[in-house]
Amino acid sequence: MFWVIQPKTLILLLTPDRLPFESMATTQETSVPPSESSGAAVAPTLVTVDIVVLVVYFLLVLAVGLWSMWKTKRSTVDGYFLAGKTMSWWPVGTSLFASNVGSGHFIGMAGSGAAAGIAAVAFEWNGMLMVLLLGWLFLPIYISSGVTTMPEYLQKRYGGRRIQLFIAILYLFIYIFTKISVDMYAGAVFIQQALQWNIYVAVVLLLLITALYTVAGGLAAVIYTDAAQTGVMLIGALTLTGFGFAKVGGWNALMEGYATAIPMVRDANTTCGIPREDAFHLFRDPLTSDLPWPGILLGMSVPSMWYWCSDQVIVQRSLAAKNLLHAKGGSLLAAYLKILPFFIMIMPGMISRILYPDEVGCADPDVCTEVCGNAVGCSDIAYAKLVMELLPSGLRGLMMAVMIAALMSSLTSIFNSSSTIFTMDIWRYLRPSATEWELMIVGRMFVLVLVVVSVLWIPVVQASQGGQLFIYIQSISTYLQPPVAIIFLTGCFWKRTNEKGAFWGLLLGVVVGCVRMSLDFVYPSPLCYEKDSRPDIVKNVHYLYFSTMLSFLTLLVVVGVSLATEKPSPEQISRLTWFTRFDKVGKFSAALEMVQTVTNGTKTKESAEQKTEDREQTADKDTHHQSEGPSVRSQSRMKAALYWLCGMEKQTEGDRAPPPPLLLDPSSSLKEEPCHRHLVNANLIICLSVAVFIIGYWA
């Protein structure tokens, strides 16, 4: 039975006599009553020093963005969407990490650490293995195929257009509804805690800054600013971890204190508010736990493979590397950095639970509603609570910069990749004769459309997210991503896979996944004191187990239909699978030469027409300038400056978008210098050993 007295009154009455928590001096020093934690008057806010730190951070981002815009060529499709394929290993690696670690990671993983211990870090350490899989197995195939987007690869590999369009639309759906809006919501929650701003004001201001250099600079600006923001994130987050361990009393105190971080107001007849006994175990009971170990090994790996090996956001950064060795180096750097979320996200969340058990670990729906407006739980405020209550002035501003860096780095990556997919896979399909000028404009305008749609979706995220935002994101992902991962896996490593098998496997898998996702929305998880009356398929089948079954179902359909129908044509296999990545053009050279001849003939004709048109326009401009004088020249300078800002200063409306590149010598694109190859491979062995050790140690 819950307390009859109102929670707010009860907590105020009990606050002076918190004898069970007297031993935790840190709790007494910093914890505030739940009733006060929600009030704007009590919560610490940013002061002048913090604002100065934020201004310095924004100046740094602006300087890096302008430098990258000046340094790189943004006036072509290849330059805008793939940064001209000139990136070294270190910006690629930091961009991979920054694109993955958004504000949803900081808020969500810290919340999962506060609520359930270290198990959520399994998603991060699984990602260590998958990003290496990208560099060594998948990326050579993508480079050999000469693609810009992942839907484009599927179109080449399977032929036809229906899979390409299906995947393009599905990717945009996933980005908008599980990435952009969630990251914006998580970042806005932090800003709301720090500045007491309206959540929509915070979101709109951040989006305006983010969209500005995404639209203007393209992928190069995104990657270089990601590199700068990764440095800011790591410095700030490690600083917070140090303060947290100092406050809580060290590692042993963390392990002892977490087990006793129990809120005062809870139902004594249930386990509500009591930390899990297996909080410091990575592998948990296969039937009764929140993250069963067979699900971690199997059900987690397939969606993780989709994210790290076939998601446009991630693969696009690797494709921007100057060669395969630099792409592998970027994967290695990202893998090493993936060790850190355990220390900069999970641990601070657990420390926050120890210091503020009544707020972060609240177990009564009324108290939780009082604290954070969410009756399910308030563990997602763990990170923001720790920052605003524990850090001194100046460092609070640094952590605000960290959260903004995490938000902006993730959003810019998704914005750029989404505009790439829409422009290259959807718009170019709708308008095959689109000029390169048109593609540049469409790519930039689609970013603005994404901003509007994502803002409109925030209320849905705010209303539907559970007590653990990170686990919510992962559970939704496991319903949509396994079918996509399977058709990429079979397409890359089984030459017999054909278009019919891939399409029907994808379609059936996505439909089944959407049914389960809908059931999760209709039958949400009950609170800890409520009876679980959900259907058996929802109650007894963990989402990680469902991911495993969905993967096998999709694989069965793909294999069965492919074997029952015709073989794929040689053009759909050559240089598009692992076993054919080094294929020479050979018997297809005549066809390719014909394509090039037609293309060159078309360009010659268009060039002649363009020269005639240019002469006419020049004559018109001379007449116009003579009549208008200096005002028109001033207007022309303004127009030229606007074109430079958008990276389109060298474009003319007659320029057609070039066809996809024809890699006549795949060995040149996959060539690796022997000495550097040995160095990279040695690092691969070291990184894999580290991953196996830390997973085994905490298992």
Burial of 394 (0-12, 13-18, 19+ CB in 10 A): middle
For residue 83, pLDDT beyond 50: yes
CB 479 within 8 A of CB 543: yes
Which of residues 604 and 102 earns the better pLDDT score?
102
User: What is the distance between the alpha carbons of residues 110 and 117, in angstroms, rounded to a whole number?
Assistant: 9
Q: Which of 99-113, 419-433, 464-478 has the lowest mean pLDDT?
A: 464-478
Structure tokens at 602: 């078309």
For residue 656, the SS3 value is strand
Length of the chain in terms of residues written:
699
User: What is the distance between the alpha carbons of residues 319 and 140, in angstroms, rounded to a whole number?
Assistant: 10
CB 623 within 8 A of CB 193: no
pLDDT average, residue stretch 376-394: 85
Look at residue 157 in the predicted model and tell me its pLDDT: 95
With 0.95 as the threshold, say if the pTM is over it: no
Look at residue 462 in the predicted model and tell me its pLDDT: 57
Look at residue 54 in the predicted model and tell me its pLDDT: 80
User: What is the distance between the alpha carbons of residues 509 and 306, in angstroms, rounded to a whole number?
Assistant: 14
Query: What tens digit of pLDDT does each residue of 636-645 get?
Result: 665 555 554 4
Helix (H) or strand (E) run with residue 626 in it: helix 589-628
Query: What tens digit of pLDDT does each residue of 482-491 get?
Result: 999 999 999 9
* DSSP class of 262: -
Residue 417 CA from chain centroid, whole number: 11
Most confident of 93-102, 402-411, 590-599, 625-634: 93-102
Full set of structural domains in the chain with CATH: 64-572+678-698 (1.20.1730.10)
Query: What tens digit of pLDDT does each residue of 446-492 get?
Result: 877 877 777 776 666 655 544 456 666 777 788 889 999 999 999 99
Nearest to 397 by CA among 44, 32, 39, 29: 44
Confidence of residue 15 (pLDDT cuts 50, 70, 90): very low
Burial 561-594 (b: 16+ CB within 10 A, else e): bbeeeeebeeebbbbbbeebbebebeeeeeeeee
Look at residue 158 in the predicted model and tell me its pLDDT: 95
Which ranges in 422-468 belong to alpha helices (H)?
A: 428-430, 436-464
